[in-house]
Each structure stands twice: as structure tokens, then as C-alpha cells.
Amino acid sequence: MTTPYVIDDRDKSLFQVHREVFTSGEVFEKERELIFADAWLYVGHESELPGKNDFRTRDVGGRSVIFNRDRHGDIRVLLNTCLHRGASVCRHPRGNQKIFTCFYHGWAYRNSGELVNVPAGDDYRTAPAETYGGLHSPRIESYRGFWFLNFSDDAPDLRTWLGTSSYLLDLAVDQSEDGIEILEGTHSYTLNANWKLLIENSVDGYHAKSVHHTYFEMMMELGQTPPMLGDGTVNGVPPAGIGTEFGNGHATLIYPGNGLPLANDNVARSLAELREKAIANHGDSYASAVFDLARNSIFFPNFVLIDLNFGMILRTIMPLGPDRTQVTSWQIAPRGLDQESLQYRIDNALTFWGPAGLATPDDVEALEQAQRGFSTRREVPLSDISKGMGKQQPAANDELQMRAWWRQWNYVITGERLPAEVAEFIPFEAREQQEAGA
């Protein structure tokens, strides 16, 4: 292919992506080799492992892993493959176990990874433990309870990789003095579309009013102002909020929150109490950023945090093939919520993001329609992601946040580094301090 994967024309304020990247098996293999073998990938949250020897198994970066606490309480990530012949050493999605034993030939490993038993081990002239050591563990690091792994020894540390985008995680965690927790239950599904389409969609404010019009109409009929509608409109499409980038492909759209739709007084009071505690601990400006704004954020390559007052979700997006994607989603909540407030959040999450909700089925249909449309890629080879390009401050319903992600994708895949489009984001409370000083 002679046309670049990504066309970034600043003179024309034109940004295009070649549709071959959504259909090509060659590009898919490059992504597995260059992106998922060398990036910080989200594994899980510490609240999922409350006790010693607790474990969860899941697929991360195309590998089966065990996310666990060992017998000392330390968090580990172990590759879920026996050193003998490759079978899984743990076949359960969750549990509490000190020893993982491969059912195929019985090799056994401590939950810290060491090989501790080989049936008929005397038949080996060199002890397998001396030859193989134990289960392989990739690099793991955490930020405020979020655990990530990296299969490369050469990648920068997690804090450097996150850079200023860690602010987005702070805003979620600081909704309670005690942080956040993962709620029970996992929403897992597949779609017949390329994984990058859902990355775009997760921070796409432009599609909300057309694709999710049923939700918007329902909220308006109930006397509520849906997120991103704001106070005014321009040609029927409200420019509420901003889109911004944080470097390394991390980006977000930030828009006015709409409080707690359909919440009763008890739920509203509970949130107000959290807000007052945040003001006492962090100041009014930071508390306003935490509670008065909503955020859809992507952390390159495939970790998504959607942070709303009435519900927060984490999402990982894994490619299974050029046109097949695995999505795993968890709901999170501030620790210490009363049961009524917790149930309110769960109901909202199911209503909007759930399997039969007002958002997820619509999004899946839109992305699968796009994937079908790529069958015409020879005749219509380019997708446009130019909306808002050239603005000093793009709005939340512009496409800066997708362009920021695509520039990092392009750099990893081709080595071509394209410059950032806008100045690095400054937290709102820091802006106020700068303005006060000026």
C-alpha cells in the first residue's frame, strides 16, 4: 500500500485514516507484535483481590494470565501456561488457592510462581525446577490501585507512560476518602468489528445524539438534561465540554455532568456528603473537577475509563482478529456507598451500558455497520477524523481525542512521530491558580 495509514494535513486541517488498517491481517499482526507486546496493559484493580491467595484469570494482550495475591499478600501476575507442555495451570475464573496444579501431568506451582512439585521427578536427570525456575511473570506496576503489565523489558515505567493522564485516574479514585472498588459482575461480549473502532467510539461525543437518540429523548421527557447537551446548541448540536490530549496516545473528552438523573433525596445526599469530604481534603476547585464534570478517557492502547456521577465503568478492548473484538467491562464505585446509592449506580449502568441497555447495542450495531462498509475500501479508501481540527480548543463533540490516539498508533506501527495538535492539558484547578497569580 503506497498511501500512508494516517494522513495528518495541518494546512488543510484534514485528518484521514486508511480503511485498510481495519481489515488487513498484516496490520493486525503488526499490532500484536508492536503494540500489545510493548505497551502497559490494564490487568485489574486491587479491590478484586481482597485477601491472601485470591486470584482472577483473564486474557491480557492475547495471553492468559493469573492476577493474584500470593500467600504473603503481594500482588502477582503469572502467565497461565505450564512449563512442561503448555496447558493452563488454572482453569477457574476466580477463587482462592495457594497452589496451581496443571491437570495434564500434575506439575504444581506456588501462587508466587515457583515450581514445587513434578510427579515422578526422579526420572529427570536435571530437576525441572533448576531448568525452568517457575511460571513466567511479566513486568507489573500499579497506580492508585490500578494494575498494569508489560511484556517488554525496554518500555518506560508506568508512571512515565501515563504522564499527566494519571490525573484522570486521580479524579476517579478521589471520589471517596477510601478510593474506589470494582463491583461484582463482569460484562463481556464480542463484536464483529475492528477493535480500533470501539476505541474511537469510547471517546466520540459526535455520535451520541444520533446513535443514542432514544436515551436522549427519554431523559428529556423525564425533565432531565442528558450529559453533553449543556445549556445551548449550535445548529442543533451542542458544543458542551472540551476534547484534549495528554501525550502517548492518552486522551479524554470532558463535559458538564448532569448530576444524578432520577435520583431520590437519599442518593443525592450521599453524593453531597462525598463532595463535602473531597472539598475538605483537596479544596473546592479539585472537588468541582471530581464531581461537576464527566469524562470519557482512553489510555493507549486499549484501556477506557468512563467517569460519570451516576456510574463509572472500566473497559478493555482486545483484538481477536481484523474484524473481531473482545470487550470486557467492569463497574466501579466509590468505597463506602450506602446500599441505596450503590443500587442506583448499578441500575443506571445496566440501563445505559448493559447488554440490553440504551447505549451498548446501539454502539455495536454502528461499529459492525462500519466494518461492513469497509468492504468498499478500494473505492472509498479513507475515513475522516477531522472534526474540530484547527480549533484552539476543540469541543467534546469534536474528534481531537481520536486523532491523539491515532498519532500514537501511527508512531508505534510506522515509526513516524506526528506532533501534538494542542497544548498539553492543564488541570482546571491549576488553571484557576495560574489566573489568580496573573
Does 164 map to a domain?
no
- Shared domain for 181 and 260, answered yes or no, is yes
- Shared domain for 183 and 103, answered yes or no, is no
- Shared domain for 90 and 237, answered yes or no, is no
Does 340 map to a domain?
yes
pTM of the model: 0.93
Please count the structural domains in the chain: 2
pLDDT the model gives residue 228:
55
Full residue range of the structural domain in which residue 134 is found: 41-143
Which CATH number goes with the domain that contains 45? 2.102.10.10
Number of H helices, E strands in the chain: 13, 21
pLDDT the model gives residue 435:
59
| Size (the chain), residues | 438
- Shared domain for 86 and 227, answered yes or no, is no
pLDDT the model gives residue 234:
37
- Shared domain for 286 and 427, answered yes or no, is yes
- Shared domain for 136 and 178, answered yes or no, is no
Which CATH number goes with the domain that contains 246? 3.90.380.10
- Shared domain for 313 and 274, answered yes or no, is yes
pLDDT the model gives residue 236:
39
Dihedrals phi, psi of 26, to nearest 5 degrees: -65, -40
Cell of 61: 494482550
Which SS3 state, helix, strand or coil, does residue 291 take? helix
**What does 212-278 look like in DSSP terms, one character per residue?**
THHHHHHHHHTT---TT--S--BTTB---SEEEEEETTEEEEEEE----TT--HHHHHHHHHHHHHH
Query: Cα separation of 211 and 247, whole Å?
Result: 29
- Shared domain for 310 and 431, answered yes or no, is yes
pLDDT the model gives residue 137:
95
Give the end-to-end CA distance of the chain in Å, rounded to a whole number.
52
Does 394 map to a domain?
yes
pLDDT the model gives residue 207:
85
- Chunked mean pLDDT (size 10), the chain, 438 residues: 88 97 97 95 98 98 97 98 98 97 97 97 95 96 98 96 96 96 95 98 88 76 62 44 93 84 87 94 93 94 93 96 97 94 91 88 95 96 96 92 97 95 78 59
pLDDT the model gives residue 1:
59
Residues of 73-111 as b/e, b for ≥16 C-beta within 10 angstroms? eebbbbbbbbbbeeebbbeeebeeeeebbbeeeebbbbb
Q: In Å, what is the CA distance from 83 to each residue of 53, 88, 129?
A: 21, 10, 10
